[in-house]
């Protein structure tokens, strides 16, 4: 058996590299069509069974095998590559409902053998297309994470161990029956899934050759969560440890509803992705109405957007649905997978939601109050069996800003394992707690393992060490990895606890090498605790403990890539137990320096930490002297300070605490925000309101000023997240107090204009994007907009993309505004932009939030959405931006300004890039533009060959002139709203000069036309063509018997935000498509006569007229190119005969087709012009020459290629990597040196 299964991984990879594989559809739907009765389910084997068996579909593999085989074959005939065994409920837990627990193994073997017989038959018929059997393992009928009783939330009707036992028996039967792969499907509870993974991996370790494992989760509704409450990314994070071959989604949703969740999974999963949705959502009768044809359309869209490697159907799907899907994706390329580089990854943990350790996360607070060894209050609650109050402690920790919760139940009088189990099960029913990851903390490893068996998310184990030797360390590390947890490794070995820098680094390095090289740990899942030990004890050898931790942290982070550093901060100050103010100050000072050194997280009661800058200067110096061992008497001085302040308040501190109340109200408001003081915020806000003309002004000035201080302190590492959260709460209280007054002001204003109550200026939909919980800035924007008579729909925080777009449609929003504070939000904003384009939105998109910027918006978000995207700096700008976007008279001018500004920003950004990431050429080609050539509109030109225009009338070009570049030539630039022509004439600074220049140009232009001082000539040509990979071959006639030329293409290679990597070869039908296609060319000039004019004006020393003549020739040449392209579209080629666009629309490229030029962004190689010149005989027919450096002469000339395909678009190739340059040189038959010389401006390497 083992040798037979060995090649399965490679077999599947080979097939998946060639095409999207098809899974079968619903088994249950097809079984229902047979209308089986009780006797069918009993067959001969179970005639005397004492329990009803009707409905036990899995049993039919034994009692009616011919029917199940017929269903398998129907799906294979429909095009399925993978069929599932009829074993969804073939486990002893589910079979208990029929009193058939003992038959589970037999059922799996029978179903697997039956399916194998079918696939073997079809593979034998067509060995080039092997068929596969997936051993289906369902979720069982019980949940390890959800209580069956509302009254007893800690109750479970199944344990992890029981699930492992049942899943292992089922998997054993499937493997013995010969399945090719294991499919753990319809996962509604991730803990059940982890048990299944655990069970299968144990079989692979002990008894069976491994086969691919596929995991299929189930998002139960549009909220994007599983039944047990996890988000899609949290589910993925929790199970990705399992050496999984493919991860995807099935059931509960139809394809339309599943798409956003599949797309999100596809973005975070580097491996294979699948989906098999239901045939839509069930109707009121529980039936599924989505037709095969419609389902095929949805699936094709998935495939074209690069979301699929494997696809099939779930509830309500039939062989007809599978056939439609197979047909829909047969020409689509499979989704590209990517290699995972751990240095490009990061630590990701999960509860119900993910915690991603980004560079911007600063420091992660691990809540310490749910530890019986560290909190007397918590210990007493647990000992008294007062779990309800103990859960409240955990909830309070999260509210205070803890991003991870540490749970420890090590106490001599407790059953630690039982306490851990009960507490974890209780908090699992509290979403406000279980949303954060858990740190399972115990000195007894069996208690840790008990904890891991009760957590569905990806947790942290605290801790393991080399204290008991390498074998013990490895054994525990393997178990941790098997459960998919991250691990804290203590700097402790056989010789004891590390105290020096050298020993800390030595032990951590040894641990790191064992974990990464022998156990296979992802370095990002390794967290070192280099031991925060107590200082200021009076013992000399303790004096260096703090600085040793800080310095060791620097070395660990530098030498052990991927790892994190943590520590128990309270250990530092144990010598001052009972002196909380001293301890808290020591912790704050220590963290300030340790975080800078690279400390990522720590067990600390961060909500009680003082702000670094607010610590009494005397105490601050004493703390720093103690931490850095600067003063041998620092301990004594701290003791003296502690004694001096023991049992009484510091009088100076009291005075300072009171003094702020005597300051001006603006300063008091700022102080309350920074300190998180709620006590006086209402009375101070009211006092401020009475001093300002409008209630809104209080938000705009003193409150925003205070929040800016908070932001600065947080950015400098002098405030921590819990303190920022307190500040935000204070701000919300102040705003809540002001809202009624702002509403009243609005009503007062409506007395003079009653229409204000009925009519709004527009509907603005605001949302903090998925994954982000920060909303204070967004809320302020909402208030400001409402005060200016906009209807505001605020969707809140953590809003999934599809919910935003659905609400925008339902509410008929005029503008969507996205907010976010954390860096991952930026990627989500890009995703929303892509989806707005895909779903046909045409309303403006506003971007705001602390991590957003105008540059990021221009470079990353704006290209993802074809309509206006505007970065809004702050609330004060929101009204101005919205009013201009919604004003028909202002919108176009404003967007022209934004478009021009963002284009400049993009260019500035790309020019400044030094470090670039590239796809290799093969990867880049896999992401090429996908065009359905069988249904593409291809029009044959009116002639083949060339056509020459010797003296084109200049008078016909005047109306095609774009005057904006003319003013740029003269370095005249107006300011918004007077930037472009003709508004530039109104500009206060350059308007007068611009008008004078324009008038002079009109005089000379008339003179040029009337006296025929310049001549315009052109040649155009059309030829049969097809593409071969990136290049385009051009032929003499449609029989393609004689190739005239090859035009070589360059493909985008930057691994950027765009999913498609363009090359202009993509716009011509491929040779292997069998489709006849065409390519056009042109070269033209309006500069014949310029040398004569230059000589004439030079005699008069009239430089002004020389520059004017050349500038006008340039404008006429560009106008000629625009005019000629219009003639090509409408008549010469004729692929857009009914086109009727204004000049403004033509200049904005609103027509179909493009005319890119060699030497420009779409093909930066100027030498391609020589091929065009030879093909069209340009110099002979028009007199337009190519200089030695391949510049055109006359200079006022334009040349390029004509593409007619509707999906053709302008793009910039950008930088290219060495492998593409090698390929390009080989294809052009030139040396690498010549290729690098030609392409030097776009080389992405030295």
Beta bridge partners of 1201: 1081
- State the alpha helices, DSSP H only, in 703-810: 704-715, 721-752, 755-758, 776-787, 801-810
Separation in Å, CA 663 to CA 528, 615, 702, 731: 47, 20, 13, 19
Beta-carbon contacts of residue 820 (< 8 Å; ≥ 6 apart): 768, 769, 772, 774, 826, 828, 829, 849, 851, 852
| Residue-level pLDDT at 514 | 98
The reply to whether 176 belongs to the active site is no
Q: Are 240 and 360 in contact (CB under 8 A)?
A: no
- State the pLDDT at residue 1102: 67
One DSSP character per residue, 42-57 reads HTTTTTT-SS--TT-G
Q: Which of 61, 67, 825, 1208 is catalytic?
A: 825
- Angle ∠(112,117,123) on CA atoms, nearest 5: 120
Report how far residue 530's alpha carbon sits from residue 665's, in angstroms, rounded to the nearest whole number. 47
Mean pLDDT value of segment 972-993: 80
Q: For the segment 407-436, what is each residue's pLDDT rounded down to a tens digit? A: 999 988 889 999 999 999 999 989 999 999
What number is the average pLDDT over the span 473-502? 96
pLDDT of residue 725: 56
pLDDT tens for each residue of 52-76: 999 999 999 999 999 999 999 999 9
Which of 134-138, 763-767, 877-881 bottoms out in mean pLDDT, i.e. has the lowest?
877-881
Condensed to tens digits (0 to 9), the pLDDT of residues 101-148 reads 999 999 999 999 999 999 999 999 999 999 999 999 999 999 999 988
Q: Which tokens go with 688?
A: 């401020």
Does 591 have pLDDT greater than 90? yes
pLDDT of residue 1189: 62
Residue 1065 CB neighbour total at 10 angstroms: 25
Whether the Cβ atoms of residue 623 and residue 660 lie closer than 8 Å to each other = no
Q: What confidence tier does 1170 reach under pLDDT thresholds 50, 70, 90?
A: very high
**pLDDT at position 364 over 50:** yes
Strand residue runs (E) in 409-469: 438-441, 460-464
Q: What share of the chain has pLDDT > 70, as a percent?
A: 93
What pLDDT score was predicted for residue 1130? 93
pLDDT band at 933 (very low <50, low <70, confident <90, very high): very high
CA distance 1154 to 1017: 21
Which of the following is catalytic: 72, 587, 774, 1026? 774
pLDDT digits (tens, 9 = 90+) for 1110-1133: 889 999 999 999 999 999 999 999
Query: What pLDDT is stored for residue 617 in this prediction?
Result: 93
Half-sphere exposure of 331 (CA within 13 A, CB side): 11
Among 265-279, 723-737, 874-888, 1103-1117, top mean pLDDT goes to: 265-279
Q: Which two tokens stand for residue 376?
A: 């007397």
Those residues with Cβ within 8 angstroms of residue 748's Cβ, 6 or more apart along the chain or in another chain: none
Q: Is a pLDDT exceeding 50 seen at residue 3?
A: no
For residue 102, indicate whether it is catalytic.
no
What is the structure's pLDDT at 361? Answer: 76
Contact partners, residue 652, CB within 8 Å, separation at least 6: 616
Confidence band (pLDDT; 50, 70, 90) for 789? low
At 720, the pLDDT band (50, 70, 90 cuts) reads low
762: left (phi over 0), alpha (psi -120 to 50) or beta: left
Among the listed residues 622, 646, 616, the one whose alpha carbon sits nearest the alpha carbon of residue 634: 622
What span, in angstroms and rounded, lies between the C-alpha atoms of 192 and 456? 8
Distance in angstroms (rounded) separating the CA atoms of residues 43 and 210: 35
Provide the pLDDT for residue 755: 58
Spatial CB neighbours of 947, under 8 Å, sequence gap ≥ 6: 1019, 1020, 1021, 1132
Q: Is 81 helix (H, G, I), strand (E, B) or coil?
A: coil
Residue-averaged pLDDT of the chain: 89
| Alpha-carbon dihedral sign for residues 637, 639, 640, 642 | positive
Using CA atoms, how far apart are residues 57 and 763, in angstroms rounded to an integer?
53
**pLDDT of 229 strictly over 70:** yes
Mean pLDDT across the stretch 864-873?
A: 90
- Whether 774 is catalytic is yes
DSSP code, position 245: S
Q: How do residues 170-213 score in pLDDT, each as one tens digit?
A: 999 999 999 999 999 999 999 999 999 999 999 999 999 999 99
Say how many C-beta atoms besides its own lie within 10 A of residue 518's C-beta: 13
Q: What digits encode the pLDDT tens for the residues 797-821?
A: 778 899 999 999 999 999 999 988 6
């Amino acid at each position: 058996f083992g040798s037979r299964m060995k090649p399965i991984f490679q077999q599947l990879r080979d097939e998946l590299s060639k095409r999207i594989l098809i899974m079968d559809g619903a088994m249950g739907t097809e079984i229902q069509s047979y209308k089986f009765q009780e006797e069918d389910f009993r067959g001969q084997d179970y005639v005397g069974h004492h329990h009803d068996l009707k409905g036990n579909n899995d049993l039919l593999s034994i009692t009616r095998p011919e029917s199940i085989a017929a269903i398998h074959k129907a799906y294979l005939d429909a095009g399925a590559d993978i069929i599932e065994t009829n074993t969804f409920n073939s486990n002893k837990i589910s079979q208990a409902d029929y009193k058939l627990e003992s038959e589970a193994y037999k059922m799996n073997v029978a179903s697997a053998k039956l399916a194998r017989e079918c696939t073997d038959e079809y593979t034998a018929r067509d060995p080039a297309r092997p068929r596969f059997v997936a051993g289906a393992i369902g979720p069982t009928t019980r949940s390890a994470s959800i209580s069956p009783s509302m009254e007893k939330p800690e109750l479970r009707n199944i344990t992890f161990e029981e699930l492992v036992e049942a899943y292992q028996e089922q998997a054993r039967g499937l493997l013995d029956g010969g399945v090719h792969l294991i499919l753990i499907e319809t996962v509604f509870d991730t803990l059940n899934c982890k048990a299944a993974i655990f069970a299968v991996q144990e079989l692979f370790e002990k008894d069976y050759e491994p086969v691919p494992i596929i995991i299929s989760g189930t998002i139960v509704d549009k909220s994007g969560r599983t039944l047990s409450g996890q988000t899609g990314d949290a589910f993925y994070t929790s199970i990705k440890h399992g050496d999984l071959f493919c991860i995807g989604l099935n059931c509960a949703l139809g394809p339309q509803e599943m798409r956003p969740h599949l797309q999100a999974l596809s973005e975070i999963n580097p491996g294979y992705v699948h989906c098999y949705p239901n045939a839509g959502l069930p109707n009121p009768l529980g039936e599924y109405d989505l037709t095969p044809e419609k389902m095929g359309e949805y699936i094709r869209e998935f495939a074209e957007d690069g979301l699929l490697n494997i696809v099939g159907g779930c509830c309500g799907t039939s062989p007809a649905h599978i056939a439609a899907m197979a047909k829909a994706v047969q020409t689509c390329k499979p989704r590209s997978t990517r290699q995972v580089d751990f240095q490009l990854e990061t630590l990701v943990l999960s509860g119900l939601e993910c915690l991603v350790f980004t560079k911007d996360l600063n420091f992660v607070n691990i809540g310490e109050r749910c530890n019986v060894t560290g909190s007397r209050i918590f210990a007493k609650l647990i000992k008294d069996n007062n779990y309800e109050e103990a859960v409240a402690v955990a909830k309070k920790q999260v509210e205070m800003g803890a991003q991870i919760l540490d749970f420890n139940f090590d106490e001599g009088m407790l059953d630690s394992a039982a306490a851990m189990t009960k507490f974890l099960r209780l908090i699992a029913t509290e979403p406000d707690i279980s949303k954060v990851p858990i740190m399972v903390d115990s000195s007894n490893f069996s208690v840790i393992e008990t904890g891991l068996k009760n957590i569905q998310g990806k947790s942290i184990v605290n801790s393991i060490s080399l204290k008991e030797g390498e074998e013990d360390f490895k054994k525990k590390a393997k178990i941790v990895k098997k459960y998919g947890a991250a691990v804290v490794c203590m700097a402790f070995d056989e010789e004891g606890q590390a105290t020096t820098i050298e020993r800390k680094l030595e032990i951590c390095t040894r641990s790191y090498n064992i974990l990464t090289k022998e156990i296979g740990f992802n370095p990002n899942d390794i967290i070192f605790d280099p031991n925060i030990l107590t200082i200021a004890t009076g013992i000399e050898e303790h004096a260096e403990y703090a600085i040793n931790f800080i310095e060791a942290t620097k070395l660990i982070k530098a030498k052990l890539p991927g790892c994190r550093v943590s520590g128990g901060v309270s250990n530092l100050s144990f010598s001052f137990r009972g002196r909380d103010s001293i301890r808290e100050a020591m912790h704050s000072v220590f963290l300030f320096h340790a975080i800078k050194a690279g400390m990522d997280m720590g067990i600390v009661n961060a909500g009680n930490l003082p702000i670094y800058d607010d610590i009494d200067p005397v105490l601050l110096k004493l703390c720093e002297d103690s931490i850095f061992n600067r003063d041998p008497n620092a301990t004594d001085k701290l003791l003296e300070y502690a004694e001096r302040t023991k049992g009484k308040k510091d009088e100076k501190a009291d005075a300072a605490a009171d003094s702020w109340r005597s300051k001006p109200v603006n300063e008091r408001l700022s102080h309350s925000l920074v300190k998180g003081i709620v006590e006086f915020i209402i009375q101070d806000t009211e006092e401020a309101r009475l001093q300002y003309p409008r209630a809104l002004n209080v938000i705009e000035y003193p409150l925003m000023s205070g929040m800016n201080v908070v932001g600065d302190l947080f950015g400098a590492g002098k405030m921590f997240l819990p303190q920022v959260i307190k500040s935000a709460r204070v701000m919300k209280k102040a705003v809540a107090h002001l809202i009624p007054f702002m509403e009243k002001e609005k009503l007062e204003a409506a007395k003079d204009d009653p229409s204000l109550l009925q009519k709004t200026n527009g509907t603005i939909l605001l949302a903090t994007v998925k994954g982000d919980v920060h909303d204070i800035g967004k809320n302020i924007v909402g208030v400001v907009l409402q005060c200016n008579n906009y209807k505001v729909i605020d969707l809140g925080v953590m809003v999934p993309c599809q919910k935003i777009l659905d609400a925008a449609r339902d509410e008929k929003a005029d503008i969507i505004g996205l907010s976010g504070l954390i860096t991952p939000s930026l990627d989500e904003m890009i995703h929303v932009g892509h989806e707005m384009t895909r779903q046909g939105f045409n309303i403006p998109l506003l971007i705001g939030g602390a991590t957003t910027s105008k540059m990021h918006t221009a470079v990353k978000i704006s290209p993802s959405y074809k309509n206006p995207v505007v970065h809004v700096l702050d609330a004060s700008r929101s009204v101005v931006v919205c009013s201009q976007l919604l004003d028909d008279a202002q919108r176009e001018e404003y967007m022209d300004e934004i478009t021009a500004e963002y284009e400049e920003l993009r260019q500035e950004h790309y020019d400044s890039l030094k470090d670039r990431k590239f796809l290799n050429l093969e990867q880049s080609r896999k992401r090429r533009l996908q065009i359905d050539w069988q249904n593409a509109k291809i029009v044959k030109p009116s002639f083949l060959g060339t056509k020459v225009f010797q003296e084109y009338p200049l008078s016909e070009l005047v109306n095609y002139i774009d005057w904006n570049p003319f003013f740029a030539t003269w370095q005249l630039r107006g300011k918004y709203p007077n930037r472009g022509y003709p508004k530039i004439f109104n500009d206060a600074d350059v308007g007068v000069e611009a008008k004078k220049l324009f008038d002079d140009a009109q005089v000379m232009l008339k003179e040029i036309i009337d006296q025929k001082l310049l001549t315009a000539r052109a040649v155009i040509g059309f030829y049969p063509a097809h593409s071969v990979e990136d290049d385009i071959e051009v032929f003499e006639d449609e029989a393609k018997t004689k190739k005239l030329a090859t035009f070589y293409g360059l493909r985008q290679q930057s691994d950027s935000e765009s999913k498609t990597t363009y090359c202009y070869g993509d716009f011509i039908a491929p040779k292997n498509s069998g489709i006849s296609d065409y390519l056009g060319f042109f070269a033209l000039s309006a500069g014949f006569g310029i040398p004569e004019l230059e000589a004439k004006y030079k005699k008069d020393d009239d430089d002004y007229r020389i520059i004017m003549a050349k500038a006008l020739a340039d404008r006429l040449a560009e106008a000629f190119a625009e005019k000629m392209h219009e003639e090509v579209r409408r008549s010469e080629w004729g692929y857009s005969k009914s086109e009727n666009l204004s000049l403004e629309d033509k200049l904005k490229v609103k027509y179909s087709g493009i005319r890119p030029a060699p030497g420009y962004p779409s093909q930066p190689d100027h030498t391609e012009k020589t091929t065009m010149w030879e093909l069209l005989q340009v110099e002979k027919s028009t007199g337009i020459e190519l200089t030695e450096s391949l510049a055109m002469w006359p200079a006022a000339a334009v040349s390029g290629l004509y593409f007619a395909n509707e999906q053709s678009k302008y793009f910039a190739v950008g930088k290219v990597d060495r492998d593409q340059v090698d390929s390009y040189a080989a294809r052009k038959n030139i040396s690498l040196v010549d290729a690098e010389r030609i392409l030097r401006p776009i080389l992405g390497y030295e």
